[in-house]
Amino acid sequence: MVPAVELEKDARSSYLMVSEFGKICKMDVLSDILDVLQLRGTLYFRTAFSPPWSVAVPAHERAARFHLSVQGRCHVRVADRHDVVLNAGDMIVIPNGAAHVLCDTPGETPAPLEDVLRRAGYTGEGVLVHGGEPRADADTKLICGHFNFAPGSNHPLLRALPDYLLVTAELRARAPWLDEMMRLIARQMFAEAPGATASVIRLSEALFIEVIRSCADQDAALRGVIEAMADPRVGSALSLMHRNLEQAWTLDQLAREIGMSRSRFADRFQTLMGCAPMSYLSDLRLQKAMNLLSGTAEPIQRVAAQVGYRSPAAFSRAFTHRFGHSPSDTRRAVA
């Protein structure tokens, strides 16, 4: 059994690991992006699946799921078009909430996850047992969780994420921080010590950041967004927007601040981020406003000013167009 104090130490160490990420990618921007998107980790089960077994995991809006294989082999069919094999120590992250199938052998008819949970009498604690006759040496042991994002989240980082990200033993060998986090999660989850689940959830949030960085080469769009945050000019522009959201930025002002011409800045930003600078700023303002309206009691007019709108009427029009309901309706819904 791992003492609770050790679990807390492990969780703290994970954040120290993530702080090192700032040397490669502007951590202040990435931190604020994930704050705006309200990234939250949730552990939903660990498994002992005995052959034969196959489970269909349904789609989940605004979620990124992960499956970490601790023992055995697992076949994953993502969005009915990608076939991936997880060996012990591998992990798959499915960023866009796509439906997928987990199984020991392709071709088996999968049981819906809801039915598996119901038949197992699973209450959210302990191990989810499913499949044939349990055999400790043959069971597939997975740690499964997901990350939720704020309603209406539509950031270039999320749009750039591919159907899946795969962490293999080879990748772990090249990414020691990522490897250490995965080891900590596996050790703590199976230690069954007090506080283990809370620690794993916090570690998984840090893990998500490191997976994005380490897997950036698996997709050109994701690589562009990560490069943008580390780019001396574009990264500086992103920092200015995130740190001074209330300022009445124009394209010319941002370009002058970072020492680029207007056209070169706009082109470079579009190439890396996949959207125009002012479009990015507008979306960022409105998502931040959604968070303030949903999570604080700030008056709507003050929220508008905090995210850079001088006119409450203009703010209301833009917000309604973006989310399909007005700031007042949003505030009433959470009252």
pLDDT 10s per residue in the chain (335 long)? 344 444 444 444 433 433 343 343 444 788 889 889 999 998 889 999 999 999 999 998 878 999 999 999 999 999 999 999 999 999 999 998 899 999 999 988 999 999 999 999 998 888 999 998 887 777 999 999 999 998 888 899 999 999 999 999 999 999 999 999 999 999 888 777 777 888 888 888 889 989 998 999 999 999 999 999 999 999 999 999 999 999 999 999 999 999 999 999 999 999 999 999 999 999 999 999 999 999 899 999 999 999 999 999 999 999 999 999 999 999 988 76
Which pLDDT does position 44 carry in this prediction? Answer: 85
Whole-angstrom Cα distance, residue 143 to residue 74?
A: 12
Residue type, 308: G
CATH superfamily of 4-224: Jelly Rolls (2.60.120.10)
Amino acid 65: pLDDT = 94
d(CA 111, CA 113): 6
**Closest listed residue to residue 131, CA positions, set 116, 145, 109:** 116
Cα gap 115→56, rounded to integer Å: 10
* Ranges of each domain in the chain: 4-224, 234-334
Q: Report pLDDT for 13.
A: 42
Give the separation between CA 112 and CA 178, rounded to whole angstroms: 31
| Residue 161 confidence (pLDDT) | 94
| The total number of residues written for the chain in this structure | 335
Residue among 307, 305, 280 nearest 291 (CA):
307
Cα distances (angstroms) measured from residue 177 to each of 17, 101, 147, 244: 6, 29, 20, 32
pLDDT of residue 6: 44
Residue 161: left (phi > 0), alpha (psi -120 to 50), or beta? beta
On whether the CB atoms of residues 200 and 147 are closer than 8 A, the answer is no
pLDDT at 11: 41
Cα distance between residue 118 and residue 133, in whole Å: 18
The owner of tokens 């349904």 is 58
Residue 88 three-state SS? coil
How is 203-264 classified by DSSP, letter by letter? HHHHHHHHHHHHTGGG-HHHHHHHHHHHSHHHHHHHHHHHHTTTS---HHHHHHHHT--HHH
* Separation of CA 144 from chain center: 14
Instruction: Kindly list the distances between the CA atom of residue 178 and the CA atoms of 43, 83, 115, 311, in Å, as whole numbers in the listed order.
Output: 18, 24, 34, 45
Question: How confident is the model at residue 311, as a pLDDT?
Answer: 94
CB 57 within 8 A of CB 65: yes
Q: Which residues 6+ apart lie within 8 Å of 104 measured at CB?
A: 49, 51, 52, 53, 54, 72, 73, 74, 75, 131, 140
Return the DSSP state at 140: B
Inter-residue long-range contacts of 17-22, CB under 8 Å, 24+ positions, other chains counted: 17/177, 17/180, 17/181, 17/206, 17/210, 18/177, 18/206, 18/209, 18/210, 20/177, 21/177, 21/209, 21/210, 21/213
Q: Which amino acid is at 160?
A: A
CATH class label, 234-334: mainly alpha
**Burial zone of 322 (CB within 10 Å; 0-12 exposed, 13-18 middle, 19+ buried):** middle
